[in-house]
Amino acid sequence: MSSNPIHEKISCEIQNHLVVLYMKGTKTAPMCGFSSFVAQTLNRLGIEYHDVNVLEDEEIRQGIKEYSDWPTIPQLYIKGEFIGGADIVRDIVKSGEFIELLQKKEIPFKIENQSF
């Protein structure tokens, strides 16, 4: 595979932040329901994360899909590992696997009367 500067930039962001969410919009102003769901999930758990608005950069928007070989946005990464999009996050939150994943990866979070 040839060197791709966009993939290198993405890799650097993922390696330099414990939790990264590639999304449409920002954590404070999501621009689609799927991005909003994942951002709200992270926000409710008090998880610090780096958000990347793919709507601001078409190269990043396309590049993240190629990087992960995943066709949709949002995309969540925790400690360098691709977790998935909104459907996967929804499923692992419902099953309780998300909390287990956060604990395993030693990501600080809080639960205050949340129904997870």
For the chain, 116 residues long, give each residue's pLDDT as a single digit of tens: 458 999 999 999 999 999 999 999 999 999 999 999 999 999 999 999 999 999 999 999 999 999 999 999 999 999 999 999 999 999 999 999 999 999 999 999 998 655 55
- What architecture does CATH give domain 5-104? 3-Layer(aba) Sandwich (3.40)
> Is 12 annotated for ligand binding?
no
The whole model's pTM is what? 0.93
Domains of the chain by residue range: 5-104
Please list, in sequence order, all residues whose beta carbon lies within 8 angstroms of the beta carbon of residue 60, skipping any fewer than 6 positions away.
6, 9, 10, 22, 52, 54
Please list, in sequence order, all residues whose beta carbon lies within 8 angstroms of the beta carbon of residue 84, skipping any fewer than 6 positions away.
70, 75, 76, 92
